[in-house]
Chain A
Amino acid sequence: MLGEVLAHLCAKPNTIKYPFEPAVVEAGLRGKIKFVAEKCIGCKICVKDCPADAITITKIGDKRFECVFDLDKCIYCAQCVDSCPKKALSVTNEFELAQLDKHKLRFVFHAPDAPPTPPAPAAQPEPPVAKTA
């Protein structure tokens, strides 16, 4: 009993100083979905399988597809990642997605330019993952 009391007196606090320090999340956390436009073939299986109707894929040119992702509808089940036959969708562990303005929850993953520019992986947070207000 006394040992436990002393141990707790010297123990460091269990709380983390989030948001002043980054929160550590599990490696496999199902967070925001990433879309790589170059890999998409426009089969729309992800659109069919999404339980929350959060994905819209539109054809904007020859073999060029744009993805609009509604983060407020997404339930982060990552079924689209499993469904995609070309691995164009992947799961990230980005979880700080709250917004005051709901228009910012609509993410547009733009298709690459028609004459393919040097491969631009859709890494976050830089473009080509562009935010639309």
Chain B
Amino acid sequence: MSKITIPLGPQHPALKEPASFKITLNGEEIYSMDMRLGYNHRGIEKACEERTYIQGLYLIERICGICSHSHSTAYIQALEELAGLQVPKRGLYIRTLIAELERIHSHLLWLGVAAHEVGFDTLLMYAWRDRELVMDHLAEIGGNRVNYAVNTLGGVRRDLTPAEIAHILKDVDTLEERTKYYAQVATEESTLIARLSKIGYLSKTDAELLGAVGPTARACSVDRDIRRDDPYAAYGDVQFKVCVDDHCDVYGRVLVRVGELMESYSIIRQLLKNLPDGPIAVKAPRRIPAGEAISRYEAPRGEDCHYVKANGTDKPERVKIRAPTLANWRAVRKMIEGNYLADAPIIIAAIDPCFSCTDRAIELVRPAGAATLTWGALRQHGIDWYRKQGLDFADLNKKLATQLGRVK
């Protein structure tokens, strides 16, 4: 049978973010996959160099909409190490609490997306309903559902009130009960098991060789978790189990994530029970002494690395971000080989990919005859091109202005 290559993406209904996959098929079976990333490149690393540390913090937080706290904590840990800041215990506990709430919301979101990819939309509705409980708490503590902006240099910005603590504990009980039900569904529902088993197989050796991280690696019995191996924030003070599974397939990744949800509830209870009193932040200097630091953080999707080089001013000299999804891409190439085309969306979704986290660099491919345009020239080119098609935006803008004038 001759091989055919089909493109998947950059706009694809199964994946919410743009990425292009070139899948070579041998009949229905995937022979190989090639991917093209970079559609979400926003130049964040370079932009950080032109902003002060405080301004950069909010930019770093916007790398990802799901794990915004992960990125900002990883960044700020590197800064605090450089500046020699001792974050108060209460600040660390609140930071860890937000991290675990974020893990719950990320895993529940993934559970819903994965269920949707395999056609189990009831689970999607259930999981996303429960996720709202966590989102409400994140909004209550941080002031926003997505970019909580809880971190600041030297601690956290918002404190917890006893009423909030009671509220969180109550909702954690509800969530635990519901997650137990999902765990039961995942282990007993034969259609789900049949759909996910032996899909996207990645052996332990391959996972280690290809540098897989997070739940993707732990589902291949790679016992690795930064929270335990290199404790940061308040993880040294809490007891938890690292969820490892030996299924090595998409089913294993579901089990690991559901297991991690249960551990997160237990961590949150321990944190709130032992929450120390005292200040939540220390005063931080505006200038960070020269030096370099690397910070590791176990984001919901895996290990997140931030490297910061300071030069003694109030702006960093270099910031480098290695998001967990980037580490997992090579594993996806391996695990997708030999599967059926219909399984491609769930295999890609099983690593919980985040394209905007990943896209840190792009390579420009310049075909012959390509030209470099300035921003102004490009804009003019666009206006002229549309005018040739009979569309004049100047007229439309005038029309809108008169309409608005009439409204006034």
Residues of A within 8 A of B (CB): 26-30, 48-51, 75-79, 82-83, 91, 100-101, 133
B58 with A76: CB separation less than 8 A? no
B residues near A28, Cβ cutoff 8 Å: 139-143, 158
A residues near B392, Cβ cutoff 8 Å: none
Count, chain B residues at interface, CB 8 A? 24
A30 with B144: CB separation less than 8 A? yes
B139 with A51: CB separation less than 8 A? no
Distance A26 CA – B137 CA, assembled complex (angstroms): 9
A25 to B: closest C-beta gap in Å = 8
A residues near B408, Cβ cutoff 8 Å: 101, 133
From known contacts A30-B144, A48-B52, infer whether A77 and B149 are also in contact, taking CB-CB under 8 Å: yes
Can you list 8 A-B contacts (CB < 8 A)? A28-B142, A49-B54, A51-B58, A75-B147, A79-B54, A79-B149, A82-B157, A101-B408
A4 to B: closest C-beta gap in Å = 12
A residues near B143, Cβ cutoff 8 Å: 26, 28-30, 78, 91
A77 with B147: CB separation less than 8 A? yes
Binary CB contact string for chain B from 129 to 160 against chain A (1 if under 8 A, 0 otherwise) = 00000001001111110010100100001100
Most buried by B among A28, A29, A49: A28
Distance A28 CA – B149 CA, assembled complex (angstroms): 12
A residues near B178, Cβ cutoff 8 Å: none
Q: Which residue of A lies closest to B143 (CB)?
A: A30
Q: Does B5 contact A (CB under 8 A)?
A: no
A51 with B149: CB separation less than 8 A? no
Cross-chain pair count, CB within 8 angstroms: 50
A residues near B57, Cβ cutoff 8 Å: 51
Q: Which residue of A lies closest to B148 (CB)?
A: A30
Distance A83 CA – B152 CA, assembled complex (angstroms): 11
A7 to B: closest C-beta gap in Å = 15
A residues near B404, Cβ cutoff 8 Å: 100-101
A26 with B55: CB separation less than 8 A? no
Partner among A27, A48, A82 whose Cβ is within 8 Å of the Cβ of B152: A82
A26 with B140: CB separation less than 8 A? yes
Distance A51 CA – B48 CA, assembled complex (angstroms): 10
Distance A82 CA – B56 CA, assembled complex (angstroms): 16
Distance A67 CA – B303 CA, assembled complex (angstroms): 43
B400 to A: closest C-beta gap in Å = 9
Distance A75 CA – B146 CA, assembled complex (angstroms): 12
A75 with B407: CB separation less than 8 A? no
A residues near B58, Cβ cutoff 8 Å: 51, 75, 77, 79
Q: Does B51 contact A (CB under 8 A)?
A: yes
Distance A29 CA – B148 CA, assembled complex (angstroms): 10
Q: Does B242 contact A (CB under 8 A)?
A: no
B residues near A30, Cβ cutoff 8 Å: 143-144, 149
Distance A101 CA – B402 CA, assembled complex (angstroms): 11
A100 with B407: CB separation less than 8 A? yes
B residues near A133, Cβ cutoff 8 Å: 408
B123 to A: closest C-beta gap in Å = 16
Distance A78 CA – B57 CA, assembled complex (angstroms): 13
Q: Considering the complex of A and B, which 3 residue pairs feature the smallest CB-CB distances, nearest first? A: A30-B143, A51-B55, A51-B58
Distance A97 CA – B183 CA, assembled complex (angstroms): 42
B79 to A: closest C-beta gap in Å = 15
Distance A100 CA – B401 CA, assembled complex (angstroms): 10
A residues near B55, Cβ cutoff 8 Å: 49-51
A123 to B: closest C-beta gap in Å = 21
Q: Which residue of A lies closest to B61 (CB)?
A: A77
A residues near B56, Cβ cutoff 8 Å: 51
A80 to B: closest C-beta gap in Å = 10
Q: Does B59 contact A (CB under 8 A)?
A: yes
Partner among B51, B52, B54, B139 whose Cβ is within 8 Å of the Cβ of A26: B139
A47 to B: closest C-beta gap in Å = 11
